[in-house]
Amino acid sequence: MSQDDDDDSASTEFFAGFKSHWIDTNAGRIFARSDGKGAPLVLLHGFPQTHVMWHAIAPELAKHFFVVAIDLRGYGWSSAPGSSNGEAYTKRAMGDDVIAVMEELGHVKFAVAGHDRGARVGYRLALDHPGRVSKLALLDIIPTCEVWNNIEAGRAPAAHWAFLSQKEPAPEAEIKKDPNSYFTGLMTKWSGGGKLDKFHPAALEAYAQAWGDPSRIHAFCEDYRAGAGADRQADIADLQARKTIACPVHVLPGNFYLTSGARPALEVWKETFAPQATGTVIESGHFVAEENAAQTLAALTRFLGR
């Protein structure tokens, strides 16, 4: 069931007029905000953020769509179910959360725009439930299995992927020593200018409120453990079966971070799960929706239509 509250305290300055929902699922309660009229559109955030990352885009999209911005399980205001070895944080399970939320809000089929981990949930959902997703926008990712292939081949640094997916409790213990330094350090490194000046201070505060919680730190690690295990295996199985995404796909990489020193993201998607994908390169670091909201919004609007 859904519990609605228009006056929760989670950065309401960004989402004036949006309704707030806490929706019961198998993962516990999933938090979402909704507003607008028209075709339904789900917005899924990335690591180490929350739905607040859409603050500059969601109100504009809500002028043309029924927008639902969700906190993934383990992130933001959503429940963080107990887990080991990533079992509760597979992108397949997170996709089921999205279905539960949207069905509770009255929608069986919907478009999805996802960034980072949210984009991984989005493409897994589209592969597993092709009748559910009408259009899919993927912000600054390539498939999980391709990331691990690049790491193992030495084409990309292992970085946080290998660190966070280590067995419990090693990464959790290290991060808990100083969560703010760890997470702000990552965000600074991944931003196009190597600074956080393009992020709204209230958005950074919202992220920090979540990542300072030990249960969230564990959830983040479980998310990456799932990526190293079940998520990667699900990708491999679908590639071997030559399964592709049925709906239109648009890829929006930044021109820094993901594509630096690697094959273009659009090329990778065309060779794997989205042979007919289109794309727009955003002048940005990894956090395209915040670092270049105007260009990201324009690209999404063109792709999604009105």
Torsion of CA 175, 177, 182, 183, to 10 degrees: 70
Contact 142, 274 (CB under 8 A): no
Spatial separation of the C-alpha atoms in residues 143 and 56, rounded to whole Å: 26
Q: Are 94 and 100 in contact (CB under 8 A)?
A: no
Q: Is 297 helix (H, G, I), strand (E, B) or coil?
A: helix
- Residue 108 makes CB contacts below 8 A (sequence gap 6+) with 102, 132
Residue 135 in tokens = 């259009």
Residues facing 250 on adjacent strands? 137, 278
**Is-contact 162 148, C-beta < 8 A?**
no
| Residue in the block written with tokens 């991984």 | 120
DSSP 132: T
> Dihedral, CA atoms, 18, 126, 221, 197, nearest 10 degrees?
-50
Bridge partners for 111 per DSSP: 41
Active site residues: 116, 286
Question: If you search the block for the tokens 């970085």, which residue do you land on?
Answer: 159
Tell me how far apart the alpha carbons of residues 174 and 176 are, in angstroms, rounded to a whole number: 6
Helix (H) or strand (E) holding 189: helix 179-190
